[in-house]
Amino acid sequence: MTLFTGLSAFSITPTDVAGRVDATALSGLLERISTAGVNSIGLLGSTGGYAFLSREERRRAVEIARDSVGGRVPVIVGVGALRTDEAETLARDARTAGADGLLLAPMSYTPLTEEEVFQHISAVAGAGDLPLCIYNNPGTTRFVFSEDLIARLAQMPNIAAIKMPLPADNDFRGELARLRAHTPTDFAIGYSGDWGAAESLLAGGDAWYSVIAGLLPAQARALATAAMAGDRLEAERLDRAFQSFWDLFREFGSFRVMYALAEALGLCRAIPPRPILPLDAGAAARVEAALEHIGANIRP
**Which residues are marked as active site?**
135, 163
Beta carbons of 250 and 195 less than 8 angstroms apart:
yes
* DSSP 3-state of 104: strand
Residue 127's alpha-carbon distances to 61, 87, 216, 270, in angstroms, are 20, 9, 34, 33
φ/ψ (deg, to 5) at 4: -110, 40
Instruction: Please state, in angstroms and rounded to a whole number, the distance separating the CA atoms of residues 107 and 251.
Output: 23
Instruction: Please state, in angstroms and rounded to a whole number, the distance separating the CA atoms of residues 281 and 47.
Output: 21
Q: Which segments of the chain are extended strands (E)? A: 6-10, 40-43, 75-78, 101-104, 132-135, 159-164, 188-191, 207-210
Beta carbons of 55 and 89 less than 8 angstroms apart:
yes
Beta carbons of 75 and 100 less than 8 angstroms apart:
yes
* DSSP 3-state of 271: coil
Count the Cβ atoms, other than its own, within 10 Å of residue 234.
16
φ/ψ (deg, to 5) at 12: -70, 165
Of 198, 271, 283, 209, which Cα lies nearest the Cα of 241? 198
* DSSP 3-state of 41: strand
Instruction: Please state, in angstroms and rounded to a whole number, the distance separating the CA atoms of residues 159 and 137.
Output: 17
Residue 2 is classified by DSSP as G
